[in-house]
Amino acid sequence: MTTIAVVGAGPGLGAAVARRFAAEGLSVALVSRTQEHVADLAGVLAAEGATARGYAADVRDPGALGAALDAAAADLGPVEVLQYSPLPARDYLKPVLGTTAEDLDQALAFSLHGLRTAVERVLPGMRGLGRGSVLLANGGSAIRPNPEVAGTSVAFAAEAAYAQMLHAALAPEGVHVGQLIIPGGIEPGHPTHDPAVLAGRLWTMHADRGDFRVLADRMPD
């Protein structure tokens, strides 16, 4: 059995992605900062029939994140899918004129450097399998900078640029890298922004291995 590692796992999109990929036969590694939270979610998923375990790591701590992903692969099987969408802290959501250099450094550590650490750790296993996917979920500020949320606008854009380069570099090796843009955010019950609907889009991105960027809905005017 292979594994999906959900980095930034929570009760919304992370849980929906875990359920969808578990239904397709993958084991689930849930990674978040708080062990209690991911252990509880893993217990819920296990009660539903999934093979799931939780691992605590802050994405800004390369050693902790790498160790969590190593442990997941050892416990559950090689990571075939990395789904990276940790929820940004409020400190990264300041207006541009109130955003400090430290704010930008922290946002980049969260969105860009954390992703790089995770990819570096799971890529050998994907190469061993001869297949894999790295899937991102970002808000609309990744492609249309918003001066009211400067940290995430800068960091998501950097994350997207890095991931798009990986998309081109890794495609010949059978590893797909894709980004799902969710304009306006996640909204339970919404026809296109509901967590389960978005999880389905991410599954399709993994299964169909198409273009780098997919929009959950059109960007607002």
Per-residue pLDDT at 92: 75
Tally Cβ neighbours within 10 Å of residue 195: 22
Domain positions in the chain: 3-215
In CATH terms, 3-215 corresponds, of 3.40.250.10, 3.40.50.720, 3.40.50.300, 3.90.1150.10, to 3.40.50.720
| 8 A C-beta contact, residue 74 and residue 89 | no
Which residues of the chain carry a pLDDT beneath 50? none
pLDDT digit string (tens) for 179-202? Answer: 999 998 899 999 999 999 999 999
Q: Would you give the DSSP letter of residue 126?
A: H
Q: Which of 36, 38, 39, 91 is nearest to 60 (CA)?
A: 91
**Torsion sign (Cα): 9, 60, 84, 75:** negative
- State residue 93's pLDDT score: 83
The per-residue pLDDT for range 34-60, each reduced to its tens digit, is 999 999 999 999 999 999 999 999 999
Compute CA distances 145 → 88, 112, 152, 153, whole Å: 15, 16, 9, 5
60 CB-contact burial (10 Å; exposed 0-12 / middle 13-18 / buried 19+):
middle
Phi and psi, residue 170, nearest 5°: -100, -15
Give the pTM.
0.95
